[in-house]
Amino acid sequence: MKSIEECKKETQAVHAGIDEYEFGSVVPPIYQTSTFRFKDVDHGARLFRGDEDGYIYTRMRNPAVEAMEKAIAVLEGGSHALGCGSGMAAVNTVLTALLSKNDHVVCSESVYGPTTTLLSGVFGKFGVRTDFVDTSNSDLIRSAMKPETKVVYIETPGNPTMVVTNIKEAAAIAHKQGAYLVIDNTFMSPILQNPFEMGADVIIHSLTKFLNGHADVVAGAVVLKDPNLYPQFRKTLNQIGGVIDPFNSFLVHRGIKTLDVRIERHNKNAMKVAKFLENHPKVSWVRYPGLESFPQYDLARQQMKGPGAMITCELSGGLNAGKCLMNSLRIFQLAVSLGGVESLVQHPASMTHASMDKKQREKAKITDGLVRLSVGIENAEELVEDLEQALKLC
Ligand SMILES: *Cc1c(COP(=O)(O)O)cnc(C)c1O
């Protein structure tokens, strides 16, 4: 029989991390406990020394968390995954595990807002310097590298500009001087982009988004390719304390089972919505990797298996028309976050990327009129109708 690692993504999504359980239960039980009883004092001591395998305390290990971690590691083709309490806890764990004082980071300028401020603020305070560059131009990564660069951190497609970074080239540049390539793969999920196959060393997910997919959990994950990095990462997460709890792990693991079918619908719906917007006279531009007008269409097709759910656009009427659109939609809900079954719309300059100052936003091309859509799995024609009625008013 094939191992789960050898199976296709559709099968992995349903079966990875699933074992055999008491009473023939098909679904893993949730061990909703903070701590685990030792058989006697010597048993406890053996567990703490690592001489015997077993559970001690849920911040360190829990069976429901491990089941979800296994599923994510298999889907990404990594050696290990670590469940975290949020996507930002995952970002923090990775940076803390890899960086020391006086190290240097090269980071995409179009990344999740709080990642920018974490690097420049918190890590800056502890003596880590970061250069934010347009990583869609590999030459700019190359020229930003310094002898003390330890991490190249990319997000592709970038949030919210959708600019695509060439993962293979970024990996080659990082590895040339022994730096790690870290990639936030939240926008694509393991169904649409497999960064380890292109040379990445560490993958980050906000599980809050596509992997859970139902807008009812905040969680994150770190995935590692090299098993030798695992002990250091586990220790860091245990010390930071940014862990996920058993019940949320159960929900994320449940969500992952439908990841592949959800992504298929997200792709189809977003393609229809993007085409509609592109042909609408009140829309000045649309950026969606599935459109032939997308500036990096060929690169996107090479390294992504589908265009995904995220679309950005700007109306000819600029910020005011964009506000009107966001206030007039009925099926699309005005809320931040993305990757859930429900369609959402939001305004990056005043919401997800408001923590960046205006200069940083301008440099990253996050204009005030930019509107971001996360296209859900509803009926595509009805999503288009919703946009049509709202655009009539604006
Ligand atoms: C949401 C998001 C994060 C942060 O995740 P949380 O679960 O909200 O902490 C990081 N990166 C990307 C690309 C995101 O969309």
**Domains of the chain by range and CATH?**
7-256 (3.40.640.10), 259-392 (3.90.1150.10)
Torsion of CA 148, 149, 151, 152, to 10 degrees: 180
The pair of structure tokens assigned to 45 is 């001591």
Atom 6 in ligand 1: residue holding the nearest Cα: 87
Ligand 1 pocket, 218 CB below 6 A? yes
The preferred substitution site among 165, 186, 218, 222 for testing ligand 1, maximizing ligand atoms within 8 Å of CB, is 186
Determine whether the shortest distance from the Cβ of 69 to ligand 1 is under 6 A: no
- The CA-atom distances, in angstroms, between 308 and each of 202, 301, 353 are 21, 12, 21
Which residues does the chain have with pLDDT short of 70?
A: none
Alpha helix stretches (DSSP H) within the chain: 9-15, 41-49, 63-76, 87-98, 113-117, 124-125, 138-144, 167-176, 189-192, 230-240, 246-256, 259-278, 297-303, 318-328, 358-363, 380-393
Task: Show which residues are catalytic.
Answer: 59, 112, 184, 209
> What is the C-alpha separation between 378 and 344, in angstroms, rounded?
11
Any atom of ligand 1 within 6 Å of the Cβ of 87: yes
Phi then psi for residue 361, to 5 deg, are -65, -45
Tokens representing residue 87 in the block: 């996507």
Closest C-alpha residue for ligand 1 atom 1: 206
Measured distance CA(294)–CA(56) in Å, rounded: 51
* 156-180 residues labelled b (16+ CB within 10 A) or e (exposed): bbbbbbbbbbbbbbbbbbbeeeebb
Q: Cβ(93) to ligand 1 under 6 A?
A: no
| Rounded distance between C-alpha atoms, residue 143 and residue 115, angstroms | 22
Give me Rg for the CA atoms of the chain: 21
Query: 353 CA distance to ligand 1 centroid (A)?
Result: 12
Pocket test of ligand 1: the residue of 72, 95, 112, 118 to mutate, having most ligand atoms within 8 Å of its CB, is 112
pLDDT at 394: 93
Q: Where is 84: in which H helix or E strand?
A: strand 80-84
Q: Which of ligand 1's atoms lies nearest the C-alpha of 218?
A: 7
Q: Establish whether residue 179 lines the binding site of ligand 1, counting it when its CB lies within 6 angstroms of any ligand atom.
A: no
pLDDT of 309 reads 98
The confidence score (pLDDT) of residue 89 equals: 98
Residue 365's pLDDT is what?
82
Q: What is the pTM of this model?
A: 0.96
C-alpha of residue 206 to centroid of ligand 1, in Å: 5
> Is the CB of residue 206 below 6 angstroms from any atom belonging to ligand 1?
yes
Q: Is 136 close to ligand 1, i.e. is its CB under 6 Å away?
A: no
Query: What per-residue confidence (pLDDT) applies to 349?
Result: 87
Nearest CA to ligand 1 atom 4: 87
For a mutational test of ligand 1's pocket, the pick from 154, 208, 373, i.e. the residue with the most ligand atoms closer than 8 A to its C-beta, is 208
The reported pLDDT for the residue numbered 362 is: 83
Q: Is the dihedral of CA 343, 336, 89, 178 positive or negative?
A: positive
Note whether 113 and 352 are within 8 A (CB).
Answer: yes
